């Protein structure tokens, strides 16, 4: 628990509406792309697109391995196919393979199902206790 209210946390910043799927190794999350997330021409800034896909892949890992292991991105690649505009988008993520070092894929679609972007990630699982100890040491 970070002590940050949900209305000010990462989910809020990314515009998360709801989790549509949270099955072992697969997740889907609905986001609302707002005008404040866009640059010229009403196109979502690429960092939000990457964040939505990255979050979906992390949720897929958490759905499979629980919260005792924290997914840490070692590498993230996003390919953009079409602009994401204000409105609802759906980010999906799934695990392709691996046990401690995982390979995940994801995609972002609009409400009509058009693929806007695809992503892949190499993810390392780190014990939650180790991550917490690192955070405590940084705050001391």
Domain assignment present for 66:
yes
Q: Is position 3 within any domain?
A: no
- Residue of higher predicted confidence among 11 and 73: 73
Task: Classify residue 30: in a domain, yes or no.
Answer: yes
CATH number of the domain to which 40 belongs: 3.10.129.10
- Residue ranges making up the domain that contains 117: 11-139
pLDDT tens per residue across span 86-108? 999 999 999 998 888 999 999 99
Task: Quote the pTM value.
Answer: 0.88
**Spatial contact of 45 and 53, defined as CB atoms under 8 Å apart:** no
Binned at pLDDT 50, 70 and 90, residue 2 comes out as: very low
Q: Domain for residue 1, yes or no? A: no
Given a contact cutoff of 8 angstroms between Cβ atoms, the answer to whether 54 and 117 are in contact is no
Q: What is the pLDDT of residue 134?
A: 82
Please check whether residue 61 lies inside any domain of the structure.
yes
* Confidence at 137, pLDDT banded by 50, 70, 90: low
Q: Is residue 60 part of a domain?
A: yes
User: Per the domain annotation, does 31 fall within a domain?
Assistant: yes
Residue 5 lies in a domain: no
pLDDT of residue 9: 80
Rounded average pLDDT over 19-27: 96
Residues 6+ positions from 15 with CB-CB distance below 8 Å: 31, 32, 33, 34, 37, 48
State pLDDT tens for residues 26-83: 999 999 999 999 998 899 999 999 999 999 999 999 999 999 999 999 999 999 999 9
What's the domain count of the chain?
Answer: 1
């Amino acid at each position: 628990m970070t002590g940050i209210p949900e209305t000010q946390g990462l989910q809020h910043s990314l515009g998360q509406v709801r989790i549509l799927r949270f099955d072992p190794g697969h997740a889907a999350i609905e986001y609302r792309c707002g005008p404040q997330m866009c640059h010229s021409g009403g196109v979502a800034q690429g960092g939000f697109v990457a964040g939505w896909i990255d979050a979906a892949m992390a949720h897929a890992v958490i759905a499979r391995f629980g919260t005792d292991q924290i997914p840490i991105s070692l590498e993230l690649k996003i390919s953009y196919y079409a602009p994401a505009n204000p409105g609802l988008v759906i980010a999906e993520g799934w695990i392709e393979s691996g046990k401690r070092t995982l390979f995940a894929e994801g995609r972002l679609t609009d409400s009509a199902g058009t693929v806007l972007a695809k992503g892949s990630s190499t993810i390392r699982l780190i014990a939650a206790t180790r991550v917490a100890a690192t955070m405590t040491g940084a705050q001391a």
